[in-house]
């Protein structure tokens, strides 16, 4: 069986054009855009940074000491406020992950059946979406805990040098420990999330079951003896994401930043989201009959039975 990472490109373009433009249906576009918005919820973001200016390490040491004394005096308030913030962030993250899990299956269903639907796929894929939500929530907690450990451990190792206003062995050890653990957590979590989105979720859409069942299917029928092909697919997805990101940036500038508005941006960039998912499904379809997503196309192409 020959698996290509380039053949699905043309198939994805053809299917994207057919789904969105042949014919153009505004209601379907908006509904499918809503599903895509749910499916990609929480994947964007940005931020800003700053710094401090100062050349006196003793001044920094005094500030750290004052901050530590203030924290000791207000430990109860800090614990209460910190706990409330952590709980609030956790609940918001859980809600986003729950909606995202539902949206992934709704979006795939809309692409596979060439329709804009919310109610039917929302109900039909409730159980598998719940399993994806629980798994991704545990993954998020694990990554978050590891990142917190990296920060806390890094500060613990570097605290003596920070207190003395110097950068020596302790500070270097804290930096290496913190940054290294962050990189490990980020890469591991990102890789697991990529496998989940590109392989596990489509397998669950087709066959149901649990995360373990889907992973066993993916491992045996897709990953087995095809490490090179999967790496090529990963590189292709990275390349497509970069090109898509550049295109999205151009559209953002052309639309006066309308694409930064939640849902509106997804609707405007819907062809990109549909193409990327179509490419993913077209790639998987090369692995045999058990990975057929577009069965309705085969049914439409088959002649009617003789009377």
Question: Is 49 contained in some domain?
Answer: no
Question: Is 52 contained in some domain?
Answer: no
Q: What is the predicted pLDDT for the residue at 52?
A: 40
Question: Is 198 contained in some domain?
Answer: yes
How far apart, in Å, do the first and last CA atoms of the chain sit? 37
Q: What is the predicted pLDDT for the residue at 166?
A: 75
Q: What is the predicted pLDDT for the residue at 96?
A: 96
Question: Is 50 contained in some domain?
Answer: no
Question: Is 137 contained in some domain?
Answer: yes
Q: Is the pLDDT of residue 22 over 60?
A: yes
Reported as a pLDDT band with limits 50, 70 and 90, residue 155 is confident
Instruction: Report the domain count for the chain.
Output: 1
Range of weakest confidence among 21-30, 39-48, 219-228: 39-48
Question: Is 305 contained in some domain?
Answer: no
Q: Is the pLDDT of residue 225 over 80?
A: no
Question: Is 11 contained in some domain?
Answer: yes
Q: Is the pLDDT of residue 298 over 50?
A: no
What mean pLDDT is reported for the chain? 87
Per residue in 268-290, pLDDT (tens digit) is 999 999 999 999 999 999 999 99
How far is it, in rounded angstroms, from Cα 123 to Cα 167? 57
Q: What is the predicted pLDDT for the residue at 55?
A: 47
Question: Is 80 contained in some domain?
Answer: yes
Q: What is the predicted pLDDT for the residue at 263?
A: 94
Range of weakest confidence among 62-71, 187-196, 233-242, 295-304: 295-304
Domain span including residue 193: 7-42+59-297
Range of weakest confidence among 133-142, 206-215, 287-296: 287-296
Dihedral sign computed on CA atoms, order 127, 130, 132, 135:
negative
Comparing 60 with 3, the larger pLDDT belongs to 3
């Amino acid at each position: 069986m020959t698996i290509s990472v380039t053949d699905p490109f043309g198939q994805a373009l053809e299917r994207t054009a057919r789904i969105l433009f042949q014919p153009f249906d505004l209601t379907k576009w908006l509904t499918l855009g809503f599903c895509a918005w749910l499916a990609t919820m929480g994947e964007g973001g940005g931020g800003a940074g700053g710094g401090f200016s100062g050349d006196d390490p003793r001044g920094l040491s005094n500030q750290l000491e004052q901050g530590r004394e203030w924290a000791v005096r207000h430990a109860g308030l800090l614990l209460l406020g910190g706990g409330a913030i952590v709980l609030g962030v956790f609940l918001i993250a859980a809600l986003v992950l729950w909606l995202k899990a539902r949206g992934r299956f709704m979006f795939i269903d809309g692409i596979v059946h060439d329709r804009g639907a919310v109610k039917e796929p929302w109900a039909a894929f409730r159980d598998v979406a719940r399993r994806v939500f629980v798994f991704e929530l545990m993954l998020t907690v694990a990554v978050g805990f590891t990142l917190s450990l990296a920060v806390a451990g890094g500060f613990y190792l570097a605290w003596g040098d920070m207190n003395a206003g110097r950068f020596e062995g302790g500070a270097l050890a804290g930096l290496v420990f913190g940054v290294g653990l962050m990189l490990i957590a980020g890469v591991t979590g990102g890789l697991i999330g990529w496998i989940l989105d590109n392989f596990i979720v489509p397998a669950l859409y087709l066959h149901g079951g649990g995360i373990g069942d889907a992973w066993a299917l993916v491992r045996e029928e897709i990953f087995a003896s095809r490490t090179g092909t999967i790496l090529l697919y990963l590189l292709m997805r990275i390349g497509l994401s970069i090109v898509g990101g550049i295109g999205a940036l151009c559209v953002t500038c052309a639309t006066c930043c309308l694409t930064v508005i939640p849902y509106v941006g997804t609707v405007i960039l819907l062809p990109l989201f549909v193409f990327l998912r179509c490419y993913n499904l077209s790639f998987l379809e090369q692995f045999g009959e058990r990975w057929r997503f577009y069965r309705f196309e085969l049914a439409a192409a088959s002649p009617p039975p003789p009377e």
